[in-house]
Amino acid sequence: MALSMDTSLPLNAVVQTQPSTSANAAPRHLDPRTSLAVLAAINVQMALTQSLFAEMGVLALTVVVMAYCRRFSAIVRWLAFYALFAVTAQLFVASGNTLLSPFAASLLMYRHVLPAFMFAFNMIATTRLGELACALQAMRVPANVSVGVCVAFRFLPTMGREFSAVADAMKTRGIALTPRSVVRHPAKTAEHFLVPVIARLGQIADELGNAVVVRGVGASAHRTSYYHLRVRAIDVACLIAAMVLLALSVCFRAGVL
């Protein structure tokens, strides 16, 4: 006896079984080699000149890159910090109080280097560790340097969580990490906070270093990679913009402009 079975499905069921390409798509990001080159150019530029024009150019470039990576909430947060530093520093300067001058200078310095931090943290948030390792190998970076960069790349995102964990542990022991406690007992607060943080971060760095070495980052043989790096139009545009800003900073430094 022949058995027949109707395998037809409703149209909506067929549609639901299709994989979502948007959910599986990789997030937008620059090529790691481009990010490293632009970050190096930005740091050189920040060291060469204090020009507000060059600083705003770096800020605009960073905002464009973050917008390309679709990190719009991060743009709002970073710009809020930038505006806070800028406005507070100007208020301190306008007050004419000499006691506030060191604080104004510190805030102006933080404002000046903030675009570089924005670009670096955007790179950390959007670049995979495997892509970074592949880029370093393609750039012929020595193995020891590659291991150090990869460890730092994985280490930096954990710092905020470790700080929060130590602060919570201090609260359970009746030692609140507040501005009042820092002012009243600076040595005691530093001892209870910095010692656990340094010990924990050292342990994490050691664990990450062992994990990176086990994965063969420091091997002398050529390693294959799951990731395929490709320079896109956005990478070329960012490199050109960074080089133009760097050239302008050199001109500002030399007094040509």
Rg (CA), the chain: 24
**How far lies 198's CA from each of 124, 144, 170, 194, 195, in Å?**
22, 23, 15, 6, 5
Query: What average pLDDT does the structure give for the chain?
Result: 78
pLDDT confidence of residue 56 = 92
Evaluated on CA atoms 199, 202, 204, 206, the torsion sign reads: negative
Most confident range, picked from 14-18, 99-103, 214-218 = 99-103
pLDDT confidence of residue 24 = 42
Q: What is the pLDDT of residues 119-165, one digit of tens each?
A: 999 998 888 888 888 888 888 888 777 777 777 777 777 666 767 77
pLDDT confidence of residue 216 = 66
Q: Is the pLDDT of residue 235 over 90?
A: yes
Q: What is the pLDDT of residues 68-113, one digit of tens each?
A: 999 999 999 999 989 998 999 888 888 888 888 888 888 888 899 9
For residue 177, what are the contacts with CB-CB under 8 A and spacing of at least 6? 167, 170, 171, 189, 193
SS3 of 193-249: the string is HHHHHHHHHHHHHHHHHHHHHHCCCCCCCCCCCCCCCCCCHHHHHHHHHHHHHHHHH
Q: Is the pLDDT of residue 22 over 80?
A: no
pLDDT confidence of residue 234 = 92
CA–CA gap between residue 46 and residue 112 (Å, rounded): 7
